[in-house]
Structure 1
Amino acid sequence: MFLRSLTIRGFKSFADKTVLEFGPGISAIVGPNGSGKSNLVDAISWVLGEQGPRALRGGQMADVIFAGSPTRPALGMAEVRLVIDNSAGLIPVPMTEIEISRTIFRSGESEYRIGGEVVRLLDVQELLSETGIGRALHTVVGQGQLEEVLTARPEDRRRYIEEAAGIAKHRRRRERAERKLAGLDQDLLRLQDVLAELRRQLKPLRQQAEVARRHEELTAQAEELSRRLAAARLRDLLAERERRRAGWEEGLALRETAKRRLQELDEEVGRAADARVAATAALQEAEAAFREARAEREAAEAAYREALDREARLRADLADHAARGGRAEAVAEELARAEAERSRTAEELARKERELARAEAEFQDRERLRRAVEEERRRLAEEAAARRAEVETIRGALAASERDRERLERSLAEIRERIVAAEAEATGLRTEIERLDAAGAPLAERRAALEQERRGLVEEVSELEEQVRRHEARRDLLSERRRDLEETAGSRLLERKRGRAIGLLREMVEATDGLGRPLLAALGPFADAVVYEDADAAIADAPEGDGAILAIASGGPVAFVLPGERSLLSAVRAEPAARGLVSTLLRDVYLAASLSEAAEKHARHPRASFVTPDGILVGPAVIHTAPAASDRAREVRAELRLIEHDLAVAHQRLRPKRGRLEDVVRELEELDAELEALDAEIAAAAERLAVVEREAAGARREAEVLEERLAGLDDAARGWRERLAAVDAPRPELPELPRPAEPPVRLRVEVEALRRDLAATDERLARLRAEREALAAVDPEALRAELARAGRDREAAEAALREAGERASEAAAARDRAAEAERRATEAEADANRRWREASAELERLRDAYEEEDRARGDLERRIREAERLLREGHGADPAEAVAALGEADTIQALERQAELVQRRLALLGRVNLLATGELETLEERHDFLQRELEDVRKARRDLLEVIRRIDEEMTRTFEAAYRDAAAEFERIFAQLFPGGEGRLVLTDPARPLEAGIEIEARPGRKRVRRISLLSGGERALVALAFLFAIFRARPSPFYLMDEVEPALDDVNLVRFLDLVRAFAADAQVLIVTHQKRTMEVADVLYGVSMNRDGTSTVVCQRIDQPPAAATGAGHPGAQRLPEVPTTSTATPVR
């Protein structure tokens, strides 16, 4: 496996497409300083996944894009493609050639591709990790990296071996597992917190559920009492209905009797009314006859008076005719004169009317002419006024236009000033934003470092806290087990009588030499005895002993001594207060090596007891063994002491970590505050910049609008001036108004007077003609005959008057008799009506009483129906069955008292959570579910811890193997580079290989130096190269890329270095950037890099045994491309 080709386009100084094809062996890249040699190394590092802009000698990743030159524009993207030969199958993919490409755009977007397919950076790193190249590209040795190897911390130096050994992928797996573990720890804490909260909620919720259950029971009782109370009320209503049924029937009978009596009176009232109607009709007939007779009498009286008047009038007319005998002639003469006068007046009137008609016509003609002239003058005047108004309007519009123009010009000047000010402010704001960005960069870097430290501290603190939690949980469990194992009647008594009792005997004695079980066997039941100072206190507490042994802390008889036997008492330490008691209990107990020996000795000394190391006591009439529970308790106590010690150590380690974590968090908060302040300032500046830019854009739009309005005002002003010139032209003068005409008033007065005279004359003629006709119509003889007839008519009328008076007197008498009859009939009818009203009132009273009873019955029936409906619908019971189920004691009062009692009990419950039962079930289900989840999380956590343990084991084995190989290779290579010298690699902490650093010990030749910094520059370079090549030899890679690593070497050391390079080139591909001729001489292929005048780099290729071949498109038209190592080159911009 080796690098097949490299294609560059737009990367740094390689603006145009450049293709370099590589082969096995040593390839040297040469050229003057600044030509772009190192850019080729950067391109290979970049395409293989380098993420640090500083490692690529830039400030940001976009700096790798060609930035342009005075003759070449900048490019918008950079692309590098690297083809790797995989014919050996070192990379486990089914391809003999693998193309890896990376592209970046100035917008910040970038992508990786493998075989043309878009992939992630992680995919590229995972692919390369299979080849030994490593994530950190340790096989690429850049400028200055040799010094970094020597000055690096030991912990950083070990990473070179880790990268070569492929431990990085295991560390990533471990980090992922630790992240999962941290997540599980968080889940575990959350689950524990939630479960604790749920347990805290469960207790009150259980109480609430109990209250809800009690509430439900009382509610059921209240419901039952309510049902029985409703049935009792229905029962009473039904009884009341039965009681009132007889009253209803009696009222109904009385009502029927009253109705029959009222019907009889109704018939009587009808008969009385008929009689009264008949009497009234007779009275009306009598009154009609009386009125008729009276009318006849009045008519006879009128006829009599008329006859008298006519007779008198005829007598007067006859006397008047004799007096007016010569009046007819005078009337005739006056009539003739009146007719002549009328004729003259009519002629004069006709003449005057003709004169008036002519005068009226002339007056009307002159008036029409005058009105026409006035109308014309008025029209012309109105036109003139309109023109004057229009002229004033136009002049006002022109003046307003001028004012608007001046105002718009002032506004436009102000807006232009605002635009200039806004642009200046925007420039200042951009500068301020750039300054704030620059100020925030070191803070962000510091925060990133602190955040990394915080994550590490959080992991350590979490791990320590988990240890503390495990230890505390184990301690609590052991304490509980110890309490369970040690709880006896004596311990319970001691707990109650701590003031007077001293303590438990087993806690006041201790055996040495591992004789704990023999001691317990010897003490027997007294091991759990409660020790008292005196007998009085023990006697006082004896009634409460509950099976406990109460011992007195006093001495007993002195033990006898068996010669040659070891007493158990000699191996026991006791507290001063219990020494006497222990001496008493153990005075006859001796040690034996075995049970048989104990039995044999007891046979010789029957008064003594012997105990074996296994805790078997052989004594007088007893063989006793130490209880196993005591052993378990002792073991638990020992483990508990260890756990408490581990817990104290964990707390001791946790405190400084927590303190540092708090300091880091506090510093992070301070940095966050500073960054937030900077961000706020940047945001405020950006917001202000956006506002200013919007204001500037708005001002520009306003300026454009104002300019358009100014142009519009100019056009409008020209139009107004043209209109003014047309309106203000001269107009014709007004015509002269004629003198007004006088109406013919005099003629009108004369005609009117003549008409009145003519009317008066006509009236006088009519009067005279009437008088003449009346005088001619009177005949004296006829008057005398008529007078005689009038006398006879008067006599006849007088006789008729007398007859009519008699008939009227008779009719008046008949009328009086009819009136009396009608009065009597009316009184009879009134009496009948009175009695009918009384009967009707009685019936109404009975009807009201019945209706009242009926309403009461209806109300009672309604209440019964409601009670039945309440039982059916409200309580779901059959009314008849509910009533039948009542007992004699189920009265309404008793049931109401019981219901009131239940209600009081319900009220005493207070506010009841009726959903508590369901909530409790839900909460318990959630608790059970979370408990199962907790167990699952704990299991997953154990599995992850096991995974981490296996990863650690794998990393430890891999690192130790790689370290041993690298250390061995370092010693050999060091001896090769420094003949007679000694060098070795040393772990700083061999006990912790995964955390230990690597120190380099070097002694070149016969020098005796303790520090590498005291070596010369060439020696330091060779030491660093020995370290790197030792790693390369221990864990080989398919290719190695070195950028000017030999400048500090002299000729001798350079020859040694090149010998080493040639040895490596036999198995791997070596690309080296150099200025040394000796290095060029050992190379199989030379790649020459030069800088063109347009600022772009050019590459030419030459095998050592062939003439040079120039890359195509590189400015060398005579160059030839070599088939062995073909290379094409095009210029590429650098940034």
Structure 2
Amino acid sequence: MRLQKIRLAGFKSFVDPTNIPFPGDMTAIVGPNGCGKSNIIDAVRWVLGESSAKNLRGDAMIDVIFNGSSSRKAVSQCSVELVFDNTSKRIGGEFAAYSEISVKRVVTKEAVSSYFLNSAKCRRRDITDLFLGTGLGPRSYAIIEQGMISKLVESKPQELRVFIEEAAGISKYKERRKETLTRIKHTKENLDRLEDVRQELGEQLAKLKRQSLVANRYKELKQQERQLKGELATLKWLAQRRIMDDAQANIMQEQQLLAKLEESQQSNYSSLQALKNQQTMTKSSIDNLQKEIFTVGTEVTKLEQLQLFAKKRRAQIQSEIEQITQTGVSLNMALQSLLAEITDAQEKRAITEPEKEIIQEQLFELEDKKVGADARLEKQLRVATQTQDAFYSKAQLLDKKNSQIQYTLSLQTRTQTRVDELIDELSNLANKQSNKELAQLSDTRHILTESIIKQEKRHCELSDQLHQARAKQNEAQHAYEHQRDNTASVKAKLDALEALQMSSIGNTRSSTSASRANVEPVLDKFTKETAWEFFHVENGSEKILNSVLQEVGAVWVIDAALSDPITHNWPLAVWLHAPQSLLFKQSFTQHKVKGTLASLLINELVPQLFNHYFLAMDHTHALELLRVITANDRIIVPNGDIYTIDTFIKRHQGDNKIARAAQIKILHEQHTLSQSISMQARILAEQTLESVNQIQQAQDTCHKQLSLDKQRTQALEINYQNMLFQQQQSVLQSQKIQIEMQQNKQRLAQENMAVEILNDEVNDLVEVLVGLEEIKNEALQTTESLRVQQLQWHAQHTQMQSSLHQHSMLLQQICNSVQILQEQQANRQLQFNENEEKLSRLHLETHDLSVPQDVQHENLQSLLTTQQQQQEAQVLQRNSLAQLELDMAEIEKDQLDEVVRINEIKARIEIKRIALESGKVRAQSFIEQLQQLHQSVKDIVATLPVDADEQTWQSELNCTSDSVARLGAVNLAAVDEFQQQSKRKDNLDAQNLDLTQALDMLENAMRKIDKETTSRFKSTFDAVNNDLKSLFPKVFGGGMAYLALNDDDMLDTGVTIMARPPGKKNSTIGLLSGGEKALTALSLVFAIFRLNPAPFCLLDEVDAPLDDANVGRFCRLVSQMSESVQFIYITHNKVAMEMATHLTGVTMAEPGVSRMVAVDMEQALVIAE
């Protein structure tokens, strides 16, 4: 089984999806510090189920999610997936059929972790169980991180035992054993509860049997009662049916009389209807006459109004004619004035238009002159610009030549200065140190070397003494720390028990009531102690005493009597609670009744109350004792349950304060003894530490002197070598100076020649600049003259444009005025024409109104005559209508009498019908009673005796009901419940048998597993121990190492390791150096791998504390083991890198983001060759 690859996304610095393959047996992961190499190891541990953020170098589990960088945002989740090659079928069970197994873990910002096994969601425990026995796990020996290799050998015995168990493959058995023990414990607890339930169920069945007999008798009586009720209801229904038949016959007689009265009423209704028709026709005639009268009156009124309107309209028309005539005169005068104004405006326009054309021609001529002046000025500006550019170019060239001359002169000065300096250096080189000084330095160096040898010898002696003193000091310190841990452990247990005891006492106090606070100040006046501390019982009787104290509510035992004078002055609150919570010591008795709680107490004095608590061996015995006790006595069984004559008090499930008080006393004694031993160990540790400090101080003094002598020797050596070197350099320096002087003299001659050439060029440029300056001045004068002419033409052009604009505006104003005047003329003419038309219409209307008034008068008189005739006819019609109304009133009176008689008959019929319906309801109620009783009338009538009567049946029903009532409260469910509880009792008995048999099987299996686990652990321990003994001398070139057991019990014993490198006789492994611890741990790990190799081994810089020689041994050991184990290791050592078949690099080119670079060493070597 091999690890094929790791897929990471968002995990720590691996923010991008990263695929890390492991194709070979030895893969080295390299890279600079801080690039994220160790994050790969953390990823493997995390996906295998690591749940401690501290072991992943974080504060919380979400710290493994990439938290962002200077250029990247944080991500919301991370995932890691391990892909294994399972072609060897190392993983068995249901996964043996898979050649490839993937394990994945995902966590989000909400700290929700998800596990996946072959892409299927699973539990963390499923992942752990998958790798149990293979050596893999979040904290197994297959994953060794930085600093962990040396801590491995310093592990506690139980921690080291875990590695041996994993190698033996019994870790999964141990886990199963732990689960099995838990299940056995729960099973036994269930058996206890089941036994209690069975006992209670037996008692309940006896009661249910008696209740079921009563219930059966009750059912028989209820059946008889139901039958009598049905027959009685049938008798009542038959009687009611006879009453209903009589009522129906009376209703038929009344209905016949009602039919005769309704026929007479119908005849009167027909006569009345005929009179109403005549009345309607008469009213219609009267209404028609009224309409004709109204029409004639309307015509009369209309003619009178027309005569009046014609008179008023003639006067109005005459007034309008006069007004229109005056308006026409005004409009004629306005038209004449507008014609004169239009003529004046047209004359002005004729004068202004020729003036505008002349100005337009002059403006065109000025435009041409302005364009010519602009062109001449632009041409002259280009000439002037070219002249200036030529002048400035020559001037810049002149400045450049002058700068070159100045630079060459400065070079001459610098070269001459350097020649003078070289002459001085040649003179100084003659003054050198003599050989005499070198001889003095050599003698001094020899003296200091001898002093250093003596100091080193002294330092070695002090180192040996310091090593021995530290060994003693470590032993004393370990003894002190061990004893201190024991003391702290005892103290922690003691504090926890005391806190629990005080909490329990506090709960007992507070359980009485809030007014109990009034009792405490009074109790402080007495010598008191808690009841759980005062009373002492024989072993095994703590539950009994604890249950009694809780039942009576006793809390304190005080040194007083209830009859003392001081108690008579207690407040009311104290008297309310003292008898329940207080036991008065002065009132105790020495008399102890045999077979009671008092006989179990070791105390000489006991409360009289305890003589009333009799002891029973079990619940059956308690029930027997109940027959002989009095009302004040109690029966208590060993588990704390209490019986009285009429009640059963279940044992309180609270804490056992009696047992806890005894345990607290023992822990007090252990704590006092442990403190004394710890103090002695601390004094011894301080003494050994003082001795170590003295030797250390002497060693430091020697080391300082040795360092000082070495520094002086090193300084003298440096001075001596410097002198020799300076002599050799003096000759070489002289030769260099002479060569440099010759070169500087040649350079001076070249610089003088360059200065002369530059001076000639400068003189020629000055003459050219004088000629260019004259040409430039002439061009500037011409340009200025042309610019003045241009400004003059521009001014004239602007003036002419302004004059043209003024004439254009004036001409536009004149045209607008003419147009406005013409529009006003048209409007005045239109108004004049309208007035003429209106005047014609008024003359025509005056003519129409001149109709003769005699014709209208004749028409009015004719209409008045017609109106009078119509009014007389209307009076006759109204008299006829009054006679019809009198006839109708007489018929309606007769009809009203008939309606009264009909209503009386209907009322009688309705009353009888209601009585009939009431009878039907009563009959239906009897039917419903029968339906509720699930009986029918037909069946009862068939079996009912002929001489049956209601009174006899009612008497029998009352007797049956009294019999039911005498039975009292009846549990009707007792029959069914008795059957159900009987079945339940049988089931519980069967379950009890099954649980007992299963428990026996589990215990037998446990014994078998323990035997096999012991055998496998012992054989594995021996094998690992033998491999360690053979590997250790190979790694160290000698020495010895071995494993040892702390105890003979193979199931729980711890494992310790001891190692002594060649030439050392250390008493503990803690005295080894860091490198020795690392090699020892590696020897142990590889010894385990030989026996049970894990699929792969992850090593994180385990070679860091090793020197080059030990790194070589480490590499050879890893190479040998790689034949059976896949190694993935992180290293900075070149030797370890050379050993790998594949190199995988981790880079951090982008700050905070890790990326991979993989190299195949074999391919790299082929390419290099």
What range is the shorter-chain TM-score in?
Answer: 0.3 to 0.5
When normalised by structure 1's length, the TM-score is 0.38
The structure number with the bigger radius of gyration is 1
